[in-house]
Amino acid sequence: MRKYWLTLMIVIFLFISIGINVNYILKQNDKKSHFLAQVYGGLKNIKILLDPETKYENIESIKDAKSEIQRLCDAIFYYYSYVDDNLYWNKMYFNQLVFTLSSESGNLDGLHISGILEDGIISDTEKNYLKALYNDFNLLINKMKEKNSTQVDLSTSIEQINKYFNTFFSKWNTRSADTPFKMLTN
């Protein structure tokens, strides 16, 4: 009789444990789906704000793009901190992009950079910089979306996201030999 109750208790605990783990996995998948949609939406907003068709005449759109990049950084940091620390996150790279879209100037890893909005006029060189940034954000969007769709691919793994952003930031950092930041140097 004792073996019966012991076996029954073990089976009950096993089912409870499996239920808790399945629930945890489902919640993690929901969080990942929300994260992917948030990142994809942020990238699309940045793309719209940096669209070269506008000829960058609206300085407010550049300020809004700067805010969107900061929001994207915050979303990635939140996911990294509270959901999955396998996500690669480096605030410095995002801050460098935000700095270039500002009205400030200063040194970034030895490059003296003037923010695009520093003088209130967007030069042809700065337009080329913005177009290159637009094109590379567009590449990120295309990698993240489902084939033949405009929706984010929710099956994208965190490892794939890391790969996409590592490729993006291998170009968009001040230590890259062919960094676009050099377009903004004095």
Domain layout of the chain by residue ranges: 34-184
Type of residue at 82: Y
Among 44, 163, 151, 173, CA closest to 100: 173
Residue 138: what pLDDT? Answer: 95
Q: How far apart are CA 50 and CA 101, in angstroms?
A: 11
Q: How many CB atoms lie within 10 A of CB 109?
A: 12
Helix (H) or strand (E) run with residue 170 in it: helix 158-171
pLDDT in tens, the chain (186 residues): 788 899 989 999 999 999 999 999 899 889 999 999 999 999 999 999 999 988 888 889 999 999 999 999 999 999 998 888 888 878 888 989 999 998 888 888 888 888 898 888 888 999 999 999 999 999 999 999 988 888 999 999 999 999 999 999 999 988 887 889 888 886
Among 93, 97, 83, CA closest to 36: 83
Type of residue at 34: H
Among 75, 70, 39, 65, CA closest to 161: 39
3-state secondary structure of 83: coil
Q: How far apart are CA 88 and CA 86, in angstroms?
A: 6
Residue 151, token pair as written in the block: 């929706």
In the block, tokens 């990238």 appear at 43
